[in-house]
Amino acid sequence: MRMVVLGLGYLGATHAACMAELGHEVLGIEVVPEKRAQLAAGEVPFYEPGLPELLKRHIDSGALTVSGSYADAADFADVFFIAVGTPQKKGEYSADLRYVDAAIEELVPLLTRDALILGKSTVPVGTARRLSERADELAKDIDVEVAWNPEFLREGFAVDDTLHPDRVVLGTFPGGNAEVVCREIYKSMISDGTPFIVTDPPTAELVKTSANAFLATKISFINAIAEVCDAAGADVKAIADAIGYDARIGRKFLNAGLGFGGGCLPKDIRAFMARAGELGAAEALTFLREVDNVNMRRRTRMVELTREVCGGSLLGKRIAILGSAFKPESDDVRDSPALNVAGQIQLQGASVTVFDPKAMDNSRKLFPTLDYAATALEACEAADAVLVLTEWKEFIQLDPVEVAKVTRTQNLIDGRMCLDPLAWKRAGWSYRV
Ligand code: UDX
């Protein structure tokens, strides 16, 4: 089937390449010229394992083409995916829908045949209805259907999550054609047994928001328990393991530590609270404020712990920060807990050197005043404390004896509880979590 993907960021580029992989003919629309040029040459402007190979293969075969023109998009196909960003509004909790709105405003007036627009971006409940009404106003003697088909991919596993999703969700208005079209688009997955849930658009929008709210809550739950463990001298990792054996609870997303960040969970729970407020249901989600609070306290506590291991003051200390991406296998530093901590420590007078295997360029752009090292060991040179803040495999495999040779003091803080405490203690380190 021919289809267009509007927006080629983390979500759209992955979706476009994966749709080509499923055998479709895909046109991707990217309005930023530099990104567009890179993608058209088969290069991915961000780090996502497996995506460069997939994208290059389908660009080379011609199954995937890239353009910046909505007129090209309107010509190319009658099925359009919206995959543009929905960031948090500056100074507010709610989602900024300007890119989603712009996609409809620009595309629909150019359409000359009936069309189906499938939203993939994470949006506040009610957005599909609003966009559908706006599309009706803008459409010229044609029928433009809007439906919602949320995406659940994780960065770092985006290709696999898109090609082998846990479920496909579609929210469609009565009388539409979206279900038939989606059954065709996702035919191979549906016939492989992937659950296909067809519902109305508000429910589909809320499936996505609820999933992210639940995941954020699970992480903050275990981090709240970690606070109690700190006070009681108990081991939160052992608790997570023990409660995780209960199939009703499950061990996944119970890793305590520095908490969640990234382009999704933090802004999605805030947008969810804001939307519930608009709908008069604010009280239902007040617990999410606490989820957010627990999460942000992890960052403050990390700064305090660093100050404590440095003898009560960060002034003039050298701190090594290993990891700046919001999670491993990603170069994304949007709302990265690690960079946030690095910035706060620097503000308290320490000199901070950061190393990350993939996120160096993005980190430099966001925090140009931090120092950056070329390797993990270089970052640790003469450090008074080493903080592991993103659980990259490279850091888990560090040799504590080698690291001890370059630091000034053997103070380690394992912000992701990912290292072997015994190995570090044996090598003479003070190990804190
Ligand atoms: C998330 C959702 O998982 C995905 O379904 C949705 O589509 C987009 O948002 P992503 O942001 O890529 O995906 O990363 P995820 O793997 O969910 O991790 C989010 C954050 O939680 C990271 O900062 C990670 O370090 C943190 N995390 C995760 C924990 O602190 N503890 C855990 O146990 C798991």
DSSP annotation of 305: H
Those residues whose C-beta lies under 8 Å from the C-beta of residue 82, and which sit 6 or more positions away, are 6, 7, 100, 103, 104, 117, 118, 119, 120, 121
202-222, pLDDT tens digit by residue? 999 999 999 999 999 999 999
Strand (E) or helix (H) holding 117: strand 115-119
Question: What is the distance between the alpha carbons of residues 76 and 80, in angstroms, rounded to a whole number?
Answer: 10
CA distance readout (Å), 357 to 187, 230, 382: 38, 31, 20
From 148, 177, 199, the end of a domain falls on 199
Q: What is the domain-level CATH number for residue 25?
A: 3.40.50.720
Question: What is the distance between the alpha carbons of residues 351 and 265, in angstroms, rounded to a whole number?
Answer: 30
Q: Same domain for 63 and 133?
A: yes
CA of 114 to the centre of ligand 1 (A): 38
* Closest atom, ligand 1, to C-alpha of 256: 31
Residue with the smallest CA separation from ligand 1 atom 19 is 260
Q: Same domain for 172 and 268?
A: no
CA of 68 to the centre of ligand 1 (A): 31
Q: What percent of the chain is predicted at pLDDT more than 90?
A: 100
Active-site entry in 18, 182, 229, 264: 264
Strand (E) or helix (H) holding 185: helix 178-185
DSSP annotation of 384: S
Q: Same domain for 288 and 431?
A: yes
* Closest atom, ligand 1, to C-alpha of 416: 30
**Does residue 303 contact residue 296 with C-beta atoms inside 8 Å?**
no
β 168-171/115-119 pair status: unpaired
295-334, pLDDT tens digit by residue? 999 999 999 999 999 999 999 999 999 999 999 999 999 9
Q: Same domain for 120 and 227?
A: no
From 199, 215, 242, the end of a domain falls on 199
Those residues whose C-beta lies under 8 Å from the C-beta of residue 201, and which sit 6 or more positions away, are 128, 129, 132, 146, 147, 148, 171, 172, 173
**Does residue 332 contact residue 46 with C-beta atoms inside 8 Å?**
yes
* Closest atom, ligand 1, to C-alpha of 151: 7
184-206, pLDDT tens digit by residue? 999 999 999 999 999 999 999 99
282-300, pLDDT tens digit by residue? 999 999 999 999 999 999 9
The pTM assigned to this predicted structure is 0.96
> So what's the pLDDT on residue 109?
98
Indicate if 18 belongs to the active site: no
25-40, pLDDT tens digit by residue? 999 999 999 999 999 9
Q: Same domain for 292 and 344?
A: yes
Q: Same domain for 157 and 255?
A: no
From 199, 225, 256, the end of a domain falls on 199
Residue with the smallest CA separation from ligand 1 atom 28 is 253
Count of domains for the chain: 2
Q: Same domain for 207 and 348?
A: yes
Domain of 81?
2-199
DSSP annotation of 285: G
CA of 32 to the centre of ligand 1 (A): 27
